[in-house]
Amino acid sequence: MAKKFVIGIDLGGTNLKIGVLDLKHKLFAKEVLSTRNFSRKERLISAIIDSIKTIIKNNGIKKAEVLGVGLGLPGPIDVEHGIVHYLPNIPGWKEVNLKKILEKELNLPVFVDNDAKLMSLAEYKLGRGQGFKNVICLTLGTGIGSGVIIDGRLYRGANNAAGEFGHVPINEEGPRCNCGGIACIEAYIGNNRIIREARRVFKRFVSPEELDTLAKEKNKKAIKIWVKVGERLGIALTGAVNLLNLDAIVIGGGISGAGKLLFDNVRKTINKRAMSVQAKHVKIFKARFGNDAGLVGASILVEEGTKL
């Protein structure tokens, strides 16, 4: 039997990640581009097409060996038709039939879904969510995305728009979010808010990665910022824990790199604020696949889509 490969793409508000995976969902080639280099929708779509062609060529793969292309994007998606409704953190995208555009250019099967849902598929089927039936998986970065597994199935909602944990409000009033809402959790602990808070405290630009390093070096100002991020995330998760009686919470994305400091304060807040039965039951894990979860989930999407 001839070898088959999957091309996975994870498009975020900051980076475009593209990888080649085998049918066991093992990643063996990966490239990363900054989405900020492609401000216009058309340029970004061209970059996606060029990246796919380049990674296939650079790895000596024949087009006949490619089972399909899976893409995860940070916004509500019409999975059946491959239409991107809009992307809260990437302007210019509205009702874009990305599946149709890419299939025409690539002559390959293309499957499109929300990036956090793909991360959730990866972690539930192959990662830290394995063995549990009721799980919420979060990806913390420029935006705060999630996927919800209920009774062993990814819950999509009426319009495939379920799981927008980042847009759960945690206050009556607060900062306006890119989605148009007010006081969303994303507006409090997304990358941009953390960077703004760090600039206010340190009087200079401090990336989340540097903030993590400073905290590990016992910098009290950095520790205070991460403690507040953990508390706010814990408050929002308390609602999910009480509502869904979750078995597990899996947290990934760049912000999860803050590690023990973040996770300890999430757990502490849930224990303090959630109802006792639900709080004692739920387990909290750091995602197994880290920043590659979206690519692994994209390969699962293609595998499942080609079996339909």
Residue-wise pLDDT for 102-127, tens only, equals 999 999 999 999 988 999 999 999 99
* Cα gap 5→61, rounded to integer Å: 8
Mean pLDDT computed over 50-62: 91
Which residues make Cβ contacts (< 8 Å) with residue 157, sequence separation at least 6?
163
257-285 tens-digit pLDDT: 888 899 999 999 999 999 999 999 999 99
Whether residue 56 is predicted with pLDDT greater than 60 in this model: the reply is: yes
Contact indicator for 182, 169 with CB cutoff of 8 Å: yes
Mean per-residue pLDDT of the chain? 90
Contact indicator for 38, 215 with CB cutoff of 8 Å: no
Residue spans of the domains in the chain: they are: 5-118+292-306, 131-287
What is the pLDDT at residue 277? 97
Q: Which two tokens stand for residue 160?
A: 């495939």
Q: How close are the terminal C-alpha atoms of the chain, in Å?
A: 21
Provide the pLDDT confidence category of residue 148 given band limits of 50, 70 and 90. Answer: very high
What is the pLDDT at residue 258? 80
74-103 tens-digit pLDDT: 888 998 889 999 888 788 889 999 999 999
**pTM, to two decimals:** 0.86
* DSSP 3-state of 186: helix
Provide the pLDDT confidence category of residue 163 given band limits of 50, 70 and 90. Answer: confident
Note every long-range contact of 303-306, with CB atoms under 8 Å and residues 24 or more positions apart, other chains counting: 303/6, 303/23, 303/25, 303/67, 305/68, 305/70, 305/109, 305/111, 306/67, 306/68, 306/109
Contact indicator for 239, 213 with CB cutoff of 8 Å: no
* Cα gap 73→78, rounded to integer Å: 11
Provide the pLDDT confidence category of residue 214 given band limits of 50, 70 and 90. Answer: very high
Which amino acid, residue 18?
A: I
What's the CATH code, domain 131-287? 3.30.420.40
What is the pLDDT at residue 20? 94
Q: What residue has token string 């919800």?
A: 148
* Cα gap 146→89, rounded to integer Å: 15
Which amino acid, residue 82?
A: G
Whether residue 308 is predicted with pLDDT greater than 80 in this model: the reply is: no
Which residues are 148's β-sheet partners?
136, 155
What is the pLDDT at residue 2? 62
Same CATH topology for 5-118+292-306 and 131-287: the answer is yes
Q: What is the percent of the chain where pLDDT is above 90?
A: 64
* Cα gap 102→57, rounded to integer Å: 17
What is the pLDDT at residue 142? 81
Around 257, how many Cα atoms within 13 Å sit in the side-chain half-sphere? Answer: 15
The pair phi, psi for residue 207, each rounded to 5°, is: -75, 160
What is the pLDDT at residue 88? 80
Contact indicator for 298, 71 with CB cutoff of 8 Å: yes
Which residues make Cβ contacts (< 8 Å) with residue 243, sequence separation at least 6?
none
Name the CATH superfamily housing domain 5-118+292-306: ATPase, nucleotide binding domain (3.30.420.40)
226-259 tens-digit pLDDT: 999 999 999 999 999 999 999 999 999 888 888 8
* Cα gap 66→19, rounded to integer Å: 12
What is the pLDDT at residue 80? 87
* Cα gap 98→232, rounded to integer Å: 35
